Chains A and B, each alone.
Chain A
Amino acid sequence: MKKTLIGFLFFILPFSAINAQMLAINVEAPPELTVTVTTDGVLDYGTVLQNNSYDIFLGDPKTEIISIEGQKNKSVEVTIAAQDLMLDASNTISYTLGASYANQGEENKNQAEPFNGNTATFEVNGSQGSRNENSNNQGNSNATGSGGGQSTETAYVYIYGNIDVGNVRAGTYTSQITISVSYTN
């Protein structure tokens, strides 16, 4: 039975091709997400004293700013992984992340919405008149996977927070904060 069916399909395919029309297949991939640190890349608490707590608030000039350029009105998920600041294994400073995002098309802390913990999901919206046309191509998808002719917009993420300095040794404490961004669908 199986052999019979395969033989039949093989027979009719050339016949169908005679009457076929060319069909362009256009698969639109979303534009690449471009994530950029627009500030100096260091959330710097400066000189701090033992047994004190220090805040960098949203409105502080020390707040770090990340820009996310992606497809307009497409939802992205931003996850931030932050660690305590460390001098060595036995001398650490606890860090409590503070993060907000502004997705109305402009870098404006007054429009910022707080993260839910270390995660936020939002659309990369934009205000009227601030659209950016993706210039990578004019129609079909290309080798880099960028979308064709899709509008992009830029959202902004603000990173700040609190450190609690205990009875730790003097020195320079550092840590890394990683911001991961992806389309949700």
Chain B
Amino acid sequence: MQKATIILLAVIAINYLAPFTAIGQDQNGESSRISINASAQVVESIEMVTVQDMDFSPVQSSQQTITIDPLSDSNTGKMIALGNAESQIRVSFVRERTLTHTSGSTLTFTYEIAGNDEDDQSSAEILQTDNRDLTLNSNGEYYFWIGGQVNVENARPGNYNGNFTIEVEYI
């Protein structure tokens, strides 16, 4: 089985795949000529592309909990699984991860993931941590939106870093 693992870092990085569209036309009445393009995106087995990292707005001291709703929040992380069209994939991830402060104190972030074979966050479904059988769409894509929540009630001020790992494999 081929597998792709990706780690979502707290650094903003945007991959934009721009379609190649150039159409030329040459016409002189008795004859005419026009061009279209052919395109294919080759991936090595199955790949995960991070389109957007999670974005936490500055936390206010009065806040007890930070929540990013994977179905509606624009600050979610976003990833795309790229592979063989219409293939079934299995996704697994660890729901709880520890974020660490430079002083050594920690916070526990509870992840929540929504997935969809269309690029439409609002109609995505919440994925559970157990293996799920999902299907890449006709373009070989499956979309993930990563959110979750963390309790910051007793947190020390400062930066907390952590990562999120999701594994995707063909069935």
Contacts and interface: CB of A to CB of B under 8 A. Distances in A.
Contacts of B39: 42-45, 85, 172-174
Interface in A10-55: 29-30, 32-37, 40-50, 52, 54
A120 interface: no
Given A37-B23, A49-B84, A172-B17, A43 B38 contact: yes
Contact of A47 (B22, B27, B82): B82
Given A33-B30, A146-B29, A174-B20, A48 B140 contact: yes
B85 A47 contact: yes
Nearest to B137: A46
A46 B27 CA distance: 31
B85 to A, nearest CB: 6
B41 interface: yes
Contacts of B42: 48-50, 87, 93, 165, 168-173
Contact of B34 (A43, A163, A179, A182): A179
Contacts of A54: 40
Contacts of A176: 22, 35-38
Interface string B51-95: 000000000000000000000000000000011110000000000
Mostly helix, strand, loop or mixed at chain A's interface? strand
Interface centre among A44, A49, A54, A64 (most CB of B within 10 A): A49
Interface residues of A, number: 51
Nearest to A84: B38
Interface centre among B25, B32, B40 (most CB of A within 10 A): B40
A64 B38 CA distance: 10
Contacts of B44: 49-50, 170
A165 B40 contact: yes
Contacts of A177: 35-38
B20 A180 contact: no
A178 interface: yes
Nearest first, the 3 closest Cβ-Cβ pairs linking A and B are A47-B140, A182-B31, A46-B139
Interface of B: 17, 19-23, 25, 27, 29-45, 47, 82-85, 136, 138-141
Given A30-B30, A46-B40, A47-B140, 11 more contacts: A32-B32, A35-B25, A37-B36, A41-B36, A47-B136, A85-B39, A146-B29, A163-B40, A176-B22, A178-B35, A181-B33
14 contacts: A37-B34, A45-B41, A46-B138, A46-B140, A47-B141, A50-B42, A64-B36, A66-B34, A146-B29, A173-B40, A174-B38, A176-B37, A177-B35, A179-B35
